Structure 1
C-alpha cells in the first residue's frame, strides 16, 4: 500500500451501529500504518457530532445506521466538515440509492463484501485525489445510475427552494410554511450541500436545470 501523501496519517471516523464490525474495521485500517481512526459512532447524531469534532480526512459510513436518512446524514456531515471524504459501506447494491448518494456528495460506495485491500485502497484513493470517486458495486448498478433529476432534495427542501426561487427571504418562507426561520436556514444549508451550490441563486438555477423545481417570477411581498 502506498504511503500517505503527508507526514500525518489519514484520519478516519468509523460509523456503524455494530460495535464488533467497527472493531474489525479499526484493526484493518490501523494495520495499514498510514491510517488513524480518530472517532467512532453508532447512529447519525453521534456520527455528525464525531465528524464536526474531529474533521477527519475520510468517513466510513454504514448506509443503515439508526437516526436520520443516510442522505440527510451525509448533508449534515458535509456542512460541518466540507473537506471530509465520505465513503458509504453497504450490504445493498441499488442504483437509485447510489444515484442519490453521489448527488449528495459521497466519494465512495463499497459493498461490505469487498476485501480488506480494496477498502484500504479506497481510503487512500479518495484522500489523495479530492475529485476521485471509488465505487465497488455491480455493473448493473453502474449501468443504471441516473442523472440527478429527482429524489435529490426532500419534499420540504423542494418546497423551501421553490419559495426561494420567488425571491422570498428566509423569514418570509418561514411565515409561509408556518415554521421557525432557523428551520428554513437549516433546509437551505442542506440544499447548498446537496446541490454543491454557492448561493441561493446558484441553488435555484441548478434545481431548475435539473427539473427539481419550476422557474418562478418574483413573488409579491407578504
Structure 2
C-alpha cells in the first residue's frame, strides 16, 4: 500500500520540489497540497493522509494550530514539521501540539523519503540525538516538575506533575532504564549495548513504554522526559527516576 502524503507550505516552489521527489517513488502518493493551516485541516479530513509535511509559519492558521487540530481529529495521521536549519523557534511548540518530529527544509531527498517511511510505520522520525539537540535549544522554555499544573499544552504532552509521576509508576525497573536511555538521545542499538540487551528486546520495551505512558511515539517520549525532569538540558545528568 502507498503512503499517502499531504504537503503543507505557503511556498509553492517548495511544495513543487517535494512533490517531484515523492512522485518518483512507487510507495508514496501525494494526496494534496495546502498553502495555509486552514486548507491543511480541511484537506486532512477529506484525504486522510498517513503523513503530513507541515510548515510552521503560514498566513492565517499556523502550522502549530493546524497540527493540533489534525492530530486531534485524525490520530492515524502523523505530522512532520518543516523547519529551518537554525531550528525555528516554534518547532518545540509544534512537537508539544502532537507532531511526530521535524525535517529541515533543505533535507536531502533520501532523508526525506526515509523519514516519511519511518513515521508512516510509527517509528522514530529522526535520530534521537537530533531530537535532543532540538529540545536542548528550547529547554529554557520547559516548565520544571514543580510547575506542572495538569492543564495546557505542557500538561497534555507530559501529563502534569502528579499524573506524570503516576504514569512513570506503571513502568517496570527495566522499562525505566530504557526510558532514561531514550531520553538521553540514544538509539535502540546503543541502548542494547549499554544495557546488555538484544536490540529487538529494546524495541519491545520502547513499545511498552509508549503504551503505558499513553504517548504517540518516541519523540513524545523525549518531550515527556524533558518536561518531567527525567533528563536535564544539555550535559546535566538525568534525574533519578522514582522507584515502584
TM-score between both structures, scaled by the size of structure 1: 0.60
Of Structure 1 and Structure 2, which has the larger fraction of its residues in helix?
2
CA apart distance, 1:72:
1.4
Matching residue of 1:183: none
Counterpart in the other structure of 1:66 = 59
1:134 match: secondary structure: coil
Q: Which runs of 5 or more structure 1 residues have no equivalent in the other structure?
A: 1-7, 151-157, 163-190, 212-222
| Correspondence for 2:84 | 91
Q: Does the 8 Å contact 2:56/2:90 carry over to 1?
A: no
Within the alignment, does 1:126 sit opposite 2:87 as a pair?
no
Distance of aligned partners of 1:20 and 1:94 in 2 relative to their CA distance in 1, 3 Å threshold: closer
Give the Å deviation of 1:22. Answer: 1.2
User: For 1:36, what is the secondary structure of its paired residue?
Assistant: strand
Map 1:192-203 onto structure 2 (within 5 A): 195=156
In 2, distance between residues paired with 1:76 and 1:208?
27
Q: Which residue of 2 aligns with 1:149?
A: 143
Asked whether the equivalents of residues 8 and 35 of structure 2 are also in contact (C-alpha less than 8 Å), the reply is yes
Shift of 1:21: 1.7
Q: What CA RMSD, in Å, does the superposition of the two structures yield over aligned residues?
A: 3.5
Q: Tell me if the contact between 1:95 and 1:141 (Cα under 8 Å) persists in the aligned partners.
A: no
Runs of 4+ displaced beyond 4 Å: 135-140, 191-194, 202-211
Number of residue equivalences: 162
Does structure 1 conserve the Cα–Cα contact (< 8 Å) formed by 2:97 and 2:153?
no
Q: Which runs of 5+ in 2 are unaligned?
A: 167-226, 229-244
Query: Which residue matches 1:4?
Result: none
> Aligned partners of 2:46 and 2:103: how far apart in 1?
25
How far residue 133 of structure 1 moved from its aligned partner, in angstroms, is 3.3
State the TM-score, normalized to the length of structure 2.
0.55
For the pair 1:82 / 2:75, whether they are aligned, the reply is: yes
Rounded Cα–Cα distance in structure 1 between residues aligned with 2:163 and 2:111: 34
Deviation at 1:10?
A: 0.2
For the pair shown, the structure with the greater C-alpha radius of gyration is 1
